[in-house]
Amino acid sequence: MTKGRTTRLRFLVGLLVLLTAVVPGAVGAAPGQPAAGGAAEMLATPTSMGPATFRVYAHREGLVGHTTANGHVIQENDRFVALPCRCVLSSKGGHEFQVKIEYKGRTAIVPVWDVGPWNVDDNYWDPPEKRRYSDIPQGVPQAAAAYYDGHNGGRDGKGREVRSPAGIDIADGTFWHDLGMTDSDWVTVTFLWMLPDEEPELPPLPAGYEHLQTIKFGERPPLDRVEPSGEPGSVYVPQTGHNIIKPIADYWYANGGWRNIGLPLTELFREVTANGRVRLVQYFERQILELVLQPDGSALVQSDLIGYAAYAPQEARAPIAPFESNADHWYFPETQHSLSFGFKQEWLAHGGVEAFGYPITEEFSGVTPDGRRYVAQIFERARFEWWPDKVGTPEEITYGLLVTELLRQAGWVP
């Protein structure tokens, strides 16, 4: 963006905050939305009302029967929202991230269960220094800047022409019934996780773990290389410069090691999540492992359902009709998805549901930036990738570096 454009956009933000939403793939302006360059409508909108509350132009989510980014199958009269950053996606059925929406005297508090529109890494509610698009003021989604001011040549982060300003989608039950909306319109949104709160007093670290770093939500994880700890039973991985303590190393080896879980990207550390939960975690290239200490002193290791944060086309996430499983095709009623042929054999051969979880998409095709074609399928803890140009080699099927991708989107790794 040129200096002139940035100045103009910042001036407009002094009068209002441009926040909107759109169904992914929509063509043209949605009914009721301001047209590009509609300065009169923009200037009539109130300004931001605090560090956590903004005026947002909202669309209806719709898409009944499709699956959201956290695995929820959309129902009629559902109550949730979509925001364009995976960083605030609640777990399936969870309420870790919630927004308060106000519209013409009505109020609703609902969780963030989907990602979109347009971008998947635009935390526009944060100050510029904490977001990828640091040249855009707080409260302005990249799509709105592209639509109104030509940011990125009028295109979103994936290079698509932005045909509608976008910042939030509202599920049907909240849109129609709770708020009484009949068309796209400006609403007031408070991002509840941003509200100031008293600093919680963290519990002391367990005996033997007092040396761990404490990282709060939004802070950079401990990604820097360290020296071997020399701790009995631990494993040092020189490729990434991190140690794996014995309980996690035992789980790592038992569940596929570097092939399934990846190499360690951090040391074990204490993480304070957005909803205040405190846990001991270690980030690997493909999975995040949590160490849960039991009252008897033993340790349990469990893996996050990282697959729900991975991108997949909406049509791949849509549930399919049940069918009777056979040798080549299996149906999983747990997630309403199937598993077939080579991916099924790969899944079975390397740990099955214990290692990867259930499938949460159907197979879908993709093309890398350098033109390589592949077929992928996402599971609760993994993304399988089949490469036609690698048929007959050990790299014919690979697993996506899901955690590395999330860290890259946050700007913490190149």
Quick: pLDDT tens for 87-106: 999 998 888 999 999 988 88
- Residue 384 pLDDT level (bands cut at 50, 70, 90): very high
Q: How far is it between the farthest Cα atoms of the chain?
A: 68
Residue 2 has pLDDT above 70, yes or no: no
Q: What residues contact 207, with CB distance under 8 A and at least 6 apart? A: none
Quick: pLDDT tens for 215-227: 987 789 999 999 9
CB 252 within 8 A of CB 261: yes
Alpha carbons 97 and 125: distance in angstroms, whole number? 13
Any idea where the domains of the chain sit in the sequence? 53-194, 214-304, 309-410
Task: Report which of 304, 357, 310, 312 is spatially closest to residue 66, judged by C-alpha positions.
Answer: 312
Worst-scoring range by mean pLDDT, 22-36, 292-306, 324-338? 22-36
Alpha carbons 133 and 122: distance in angstroms, whole number? 7
3-class secondary structure, 11? helix
Quick: pLDDT tens for 392-406: 999 999 999 999 988
Given the structure tokens 């740990």, which residue do they identify? 351
In this prediction the pTM is: 0.58
Residue 177 has pLDDT above 90, yes or no: no
Higher pLDDT, 409 or 269: 269
Give the mean pLDDT of the chain: 84
Quick: pLDDT tens for 121-161: 999 899 888 998 989 888 888 888 888 889 999 999 889 99
Alpha carbons 144 and 329: distance in angstroms, whole number? 44
Quick: pLDDT tens for 229-256: 999 999 999 999 999 999 999 999 999 9
- Side chain identity at 268, as an amino acid letter? L
Residue 46 has pLDDT above 70, yes or no: no
Alpha carbons 344 and 352: distance in angstroms, whole number? 9
What was the pLDDT predicted at 137?
84
CB 140 within 8 A of CB 17: yes
Residue 32 has pLDDT above 90, yes or no: no
Percent of the chain predicted with pLDDT > 70: 86
What was the pLDDT predicted at 13?
31
Long-range contacts from 150-156, C-beta under 8 angstroms, 24+ separation? 150/1, 150/5, 151/1, 151/5, 151/9, 152/1, 156/118, 156/119
CB 376 within 8 A of CB 317: no
Residue 35 has pLDDT above 50, yes or no: no
- Residue 50 pLDDT level (bands cut at 50, 70, 90): low
Percent of the chain predicted with pLDDT > 90: 52
What was the pLDDT predicted at 289?
97
Quick: pLDDT tens for 63-86: 989 999 999 999 887 899 999 899
Quick: pLDDT tens for 291-316: 999 888 889 999 999 998 788 887 89
Quick: pLDDT tens for 255-264: 999 999 999 9
Q: Candidates 2.102.10.10, 2.40.10.220, 3.30.390.30, 2.40.40.10; correct CATH number of 53-194?
A: 2.40.40.10
